[in-house]
């Protein structure tokens, strides 16, 4: 259960906004309950992926107490969440887990890609980390962690400044962690594929497609090898059903792929390597693109995705109709002489009311929450019935 006590003391200078945040947090809880908890089973795994825009990057992207309450509440309705765009500075992620999610939650995070420059940025990796947040009573961290580096000859090729082709690695190194939930063991790999350009003829789009194909191909080969090795070991050990030795080779590839559409080549690079999309939802705020994906290549025959969805947080908080309220909050903060309050961004540059409302809708709320919806699915993890059925069937054979 997310820790919400900051809703009382986090807005001590503005009682009207404190009441408003409490109302919106209550509405968010109601929406999440109806869409997630009322439609899923406590004995299954609620798995999600969310690109939280520039999370941990200060300045314009400094999350307020209000937005941290909302982010924690959303995450807390799931059991395991892959997060993209975590900043090099981990203080905000630590704050989210320690002060808003609580002891029931833990995280594991990758290093950043590239080398930081004087401006605190990196090259194509943009100083980003990838993270997994998980609920400890539902998900076990199996202590197998890795960042995926492609072997020579199977990388992505780009033209350098001299016009010659060179092999490169991912702009942001994919992050792989093995977890177990219930009867299911699985390797979860999260990515943030380079966006570059949306033009289908551009070099950046070519690299985007190559990155998706490279990670899908690498993991497909690894999954098949791991499954075959498990079966071979089980056969050597004399298992009655050695094929069960490969059942832990379950791979889920999720994150921000910058997929254009289900029919586009970007999606085909996943499917042609044996990964099946577990979701079919648009995740940009304009409901046009399928940027985020949860794709599966499973060895366990009982593996099943029960349902999926994309959670639209802006239907409950930071709504279009709330623009007038936030503009009033910004003006009250200005009257109090506040200088560091993030909401003052709304009235920067002496914007008129129309400009401030447009800024709220186009920028402020995205920088406080995200420009992506959270994508989720429910995965079956209780195979007790299938196991007992198999025992019964085995016992009815001639050897019984």
**SS3 state of residue 296:** strand
Residue 238 pLDDT level (bands cut at 50, 70, 90): very high
CA 337 vs CA 77, 323, 330, 351: distances in Å: 38, 22, 11, 18
Question: How far is it, in rounded angstroms, from Cα 333 to Cα 328?
Answer: 9
CB atoms within 10 A of CB 73: 23
pLDDT in tens, 198-226: 666 678 888 999 999 999 999 999 999 99
pTM exceeding 0.75: yes
- In the CATH scheme, what is the code of domain 6-317+373-393? 3.60.10.10
**% of the chain exceeding 90 in pLDDT:** 79
- pLDDT (0 to 100) of residue 120: 45
- pLDDT (0 to 100) of residue 200: 63
Bigger pLDDT: 390 vs 315: 315
User: CATH 3.60.10.10 spans which residues of the chain?
Assistant: 6-317+373-393
Lowest mean pLDDT among 148-162, 299-313, 332-346: 148-162
pLDDT in tens, 11-39: 888 999 999 999 999 999 999 999 999 99
**SS3 state of residue 232:** helix
175-181, strands of its sheet edge to edge: 140-147, 175-181, 184-192, 251-256, 292-297, 276-277
pLDDT in tens, 309-355: 999 999 999 999 999 999 999 999 999 998 888 899 898 878 899 99
pLDDT in tens, 83-139: 999 999 999 999 999 999 999 999 999 998 766 555 444 467 788 999 999 999 999
Bigger pLDDT: 294 vs 341: 294
- pLDDT (0 to 100) of residue 215: 97
**% of the chain exceeding 70 in pLDDT:** 95
Structure tokens that stand for 285 in this block: 């705020």
Average pLDDT over residues 269-286: 94
- pLDDT (0 to 100) of residue 122: 44
């Amino acid at each position: 259960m997310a820790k919400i006590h900051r809703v009382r003391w986090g807005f001590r200078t503005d009682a009207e906004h404190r009441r408003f945040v409490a109302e919106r947090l209550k509405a968010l809880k109601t929406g999440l309950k109806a869409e997630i908890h009322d439609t899923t089973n406590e004995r299954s795994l609620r798995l999600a992926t969310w690109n939280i825009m520039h999370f941990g990057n200060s300045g314009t992207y400094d999350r307020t107490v209000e937005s941290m309450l909302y982010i924690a509440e959303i995450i807390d309705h799931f059991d395991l969440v892959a997060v993209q765009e975590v900043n090099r500075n981990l203080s905000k992620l630590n704050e989210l887990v320690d002060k808003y999610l609580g002891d029931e939650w833990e995280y594991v995070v990758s290093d950043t890609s590239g080398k930081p420059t004087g401006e605190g940025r990196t090259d194509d990796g943009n100083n980003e980390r990838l993270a997994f947040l998980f609920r400890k009573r539902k998900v076990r961290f199996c202590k197998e962690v890795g960042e995926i580096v492609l072997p020579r000859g199977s990388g992505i090729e780009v033209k350098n400044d001299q016009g010659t082709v060179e092999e490169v690695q991912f702009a942001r190194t994919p992050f792989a962690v093995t977890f177990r939930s219930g009867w299911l063991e699985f390797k979860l790999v999260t990515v943030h594929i380079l966006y570059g350009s949306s033009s289908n003829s551009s070099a950046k789009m070519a690299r985007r497609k190559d990155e998706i194909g490279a990670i899908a191909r690498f993991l497909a080969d690894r999954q098949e090898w791991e499954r075959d090795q498990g079966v071979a070991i089980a056969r050597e050990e004399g298992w009655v059903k050695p094929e069960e030795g490969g059942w832990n080779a379950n791979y889920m590839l999720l994150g921000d792929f910058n997929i254009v559409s289900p029919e586009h080549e970007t999606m085909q690079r996943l499917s042609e390597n044996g990964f099946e999309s577990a979701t079919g939802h648009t995740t940009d705020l304009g409901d046009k693109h399928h940027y985020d994906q949860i794709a599966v290549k499973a060895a366990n025959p009982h593996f099943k995705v029960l349902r999926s969805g994309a959670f639209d947080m802006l239907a409950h908080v930071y709504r279009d109709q709330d623009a007038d309220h936030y503009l009033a909050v910004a003006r009250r903060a200005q009257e109090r002489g506040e200088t560091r309050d993030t909401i003052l961004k709304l009235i920067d540059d002496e914007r008129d009311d129309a400009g401030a409302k447009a800024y709220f809708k186009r920028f402020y709320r995205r920088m406080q929450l995200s420009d992506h919806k959270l994508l989720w699915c429910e995965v079956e993890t209780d195979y007790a019935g299938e196991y007992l059925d198999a025992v019964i069937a085995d016992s009815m054979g001639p050897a019984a």
